[in-house]
Amino acid sequence: MRRLQTFLAVSCVFLLLLPPLGAGQRVTLSRVTEPYQPRDVAPVNLANSNRIESLLRAGNLYLSLQDAIALALENNLDIELQRYGAQISDANILRARAGGLLRGVPPSVQQGPASAPTQRGQDTGITQSAAAQASAAAGGGTGTVITQTGTVIPNLDPVLTGFVRWAHNTNPQTSTFVSGTNTLVNRNDLANFSFQQGFLSGTTVSLGLSNSHLTSTSLRAELNPSTTSSLNLNVTQKLLQGFGLAVNNRNIVVARNNREVSDLVFKQQVITTVSAIINLYWDLVSFNEDVKVKQKALDLYKKQLVDNQKQVEIGTLAPIEVVRAEAEVANAEQDLTISLTRVLQQEMILKSALSRTGVASPAIADARVIPTDRLSIPENEPVEPIQDLVAQARQARPELAQRRIQIENDKINLKGSRSQLLPTLDAVVAVANNGLAGELSALPLPAGSPPRTPTTFFIGGYGTVLNQLFRRNFPDYSLALQMNIPLRNRSAQADMVLDQLSMRQREIGLQQLENSIRLDVQNALIALQQSRATYQAASKTRVLREQTLDAEQKKYTLGASTLFNVILVQRDLVTAQAAEVSALANYSRARVQMDVATGRSLEHNNIAISEAFRGQVSRAPSPIQ
């Protein structure tokens, strides 16, 4: 019972020596256990937003371009995947504030889905197969610990250490001169506690309390049982290698920079996904227009077949012309079937990109997508100098900002590598207070031994020991300098060179990216001009083919032309109409690429990055006309 009281007293005293928690704060059980509880992450939310249900009417999904963009911001899984990047970065900041190594933050951006193939034999309109996506997911993640060069960062989380031991020792003695007995039995109980804290300055502070309670069968001991205690304060300060805030807080600064990188990666993902959705939407519109063209061509060929059959019946036309017309009808039906199935495939791709569960829901899978917006080209294209467009791109493109932050991180990490080149010189200050107390031994003295005459100052219990400690009756002081000088230091020099070379490579990569962005803007501008000119030419060609067909049919009616010529002109008209639709779709793609190249996709599509991050778009669904 007495030993238990001693242990409790030691524990209480050491807790009193710990730094205060702050005025007005109460130490509750939850506060004590909070550092050891897991911080649970919410499970994945696979429920679609209510917007998609509000756009369903009678088995059709009526979709405007703005609704498609809003659904992508709310439901697209590529964007949802990047939302975890900010949480990963926040966890890395927490880890860095404790002095731990940084873990990887994924900077990759998922490419959006591609449209359905426009020609036979092309791949399907998805960017990756399921096996490829599974392989990429297995190789990704954030569990890898980055190997850190430079000086070791101190542990910034305080550590409380306790050691309690109860020991019984029996030692046979070859002589009774020291202990007065041939069998020395000791009961030695230890209770040691320490508190250690590292600081960004390169300082480590350790406060420890050591206690030893000894009960012995030694006949010559004056105090038996006895208690010895020592209260130690050790301060170690790095003076060369590992000295200073700039060296020891570099991981914290890098982790905060990586938090900004995560925001930029998310912004880039939103731009990439929204651009893909816009292309999917306008391609669906153009595919529907292509279906109309193919349907008109089929109607025209059917009418030609009926007319030929009538002329064959009255004997004014050879029967072979009926066979020729039937072949043209079959080809037109095949083209129409291909166009219809392409529309169905495009709808499935678009619905899968706008839903968290793809087309698993029967209501979504069976719904036909009805685009409510139409393709158009403005009469006048806004003219902006190429220098202004490039300057806008250099300011708005998130890729450039990411590279600049990464270079800044390299410069910060160089401080650690530079510090590692220095010798190690540590100043160690140690202060200790000692105490001893016990009871006068009740064991008999060996024959001929002088009587026990202990100083009354040491007679007492653990309270006497504590009194000696805090009165500093038996103080110890020491000041030490510890130096370690590597004679060649090749490893540190190699790390410094490698880190500088890595930074130089990243600087070259930044210049390459700037050159590429400048080229992207110029190519996007050229593509926009070309697509506009191509559409204008295709539109005029379509008008010409319509007039040519009308004239050729009139000539055929008057007997001045042949049916073969009429069929050729009809084919030319169908080709011209399809080319006009394709040119219009290409213009919309060029416009989207222009926004991507200049970094204005979010601005031109009224996208708030805060709404995209929350996954909740405040804009109401478009009314169904």
Calpha distance 153→412 (Å, rounded): 14
Residue 555 has pLDDT above 90, yes or no: no
Domain residues for the domain of 222 are 159-198+203-241+424-484
Asked whether residue 584 is assigned to any structural domain, the reply reads no
pLDDT value, residue 133: 47
Q: What is the pLDDT of residues 189-248, one digit of tens each?
A: 999 999 999 999 999 999 999 999 999 888 778 888 899 999 999 999 999 999 999 999
Instruction: For the chain, report the end-to-end CA distance as a whole number of angstroms.
Output: 87
Dihedral through CA 288, CA 292, CA 294, CA 297, nearest 10? -170
Calpha distance 280→275 (Å, rounded): 9
- Residue written as token pair 């202004």: 388
Asked if 260 and 405 count as a contact pair (C-beta separation under 8 A), the reply is yes
Compute the C-alpha angle 175/177/179, nearest 5°.
90
Q: What is the pLDDT of residues 302-333, one digit of tens each?
A: 888 888 888 888 887 788 888 888 898 899 89
The answer for residues whose C-beta is within 8 angstroms of residue 121's C-beta and 6 or more apart is none
State which amino acid sits at residue 376. S
pLDDT value, residue 281: 95
Residue 21, CB half-sphere, CA atoms under 13 Å: how many? 9
Residue 439 has pLDDT above 90, yes or no: no
Residue 26 has pLDDT above 80, yes or no: no
Residue 557 has pLDDT above 70, yes or no: yes
Asked whether residue 188 is assigned to any structural domain, the reply reads yes
Q: Which of 149, 155, 144, 189 is nearest to 6 (CA)?
A: 189
Asked if 203 and 236 count as a contact pair (C-beta separation under 8 A), the reply is yes
How far is CA 380 from each of CA 383, 391, 529, rounded to the nearest angstrom? 9, 23, 12
- Residue 22 DSSP symbol: -
Asked whether residue 531 is assigned to any structural domain, the reply reads no
Asked whether residue 364 is assigned to any structural domain, the reply reads no
Burial, 613: exposed, middle or buried (Cβ in 10 Å; 0-12, 13-18, 19+)? Answer: middle
pLDDT value, residue 609: 92
pLDDT value, residue 120: 55
The domain tally of the chain equals 1
Q: What is the pLDDT of residues 352-392, one digit of tens each?
A: 999 998 888 888 989 999 999 988 888 887 778 899 999 99
Backbone phi, psi, residue 121, to 5°: 90, -10
Q: What is the pLDDT of residues 440-492, one digit of tens each?
A: 877 777 776 777 777 788 888 899 999 999 999 999 999 999 999 999 899 99
Mean pLDDT of 576-591: 90
Asked whether residue 173 is assigned to any structural domain, the reply reads yes
Task: Tally Cβ neighbours within 10 Å of residue 578.
Answer: 20
pLDDT value, residue 307: 81
Calpha distance 181→220 (Å, rounded): 9
Residue 169 has pLDDT above 50, yes or no: yes
Asked whether residue 397 is assigned to any structural domain, the reply reads no
Q: What is the pLDDT of residues 495-551, one digit of tens each?
A: 999 999 999 999 999 999 999 999 999 999 999 999 999 999 999 998 998 899 888
Indicate the SS3 state at residue 204. Answer: strand
How far is CA 408 from each of CA 236, 258, 396, 432, 484, rounded to the nearest angstrom? 31, 11, 19, 45, 31
Asked whether residue 250 is assigned to any structural domain, the reply reads no
What pTM, to 2 d.p., does this model score?
A: 0.84
pLDDT value, residue 131: 41
- Of 141-155, 552-566, 590-604, 610-624, least confident by mean pLDDT is 141-155
Q: How confident is the model at residue 8 (pLDDT cuts 50, 70, 90)?
A: low
pLDDT value, residue 24: 45
State which amino acid sits at residue 240. L
Residue 351 has pLDDT above 50, yes or no: yes
Q: What is the pLDDT of residues 213-226, one digit of tens each?
A: 999 888 778 888 89
pLDDT value, residue 430: 96
Asked whether residue 521 is assigned to any structural domain, the reply reads no
User: Across the chain, what does the average pLDDT equal?
Assistant: 86
Q: How confident is the model at residue 350 (pLDDT cuts 50, 70, 90)?
A: very high
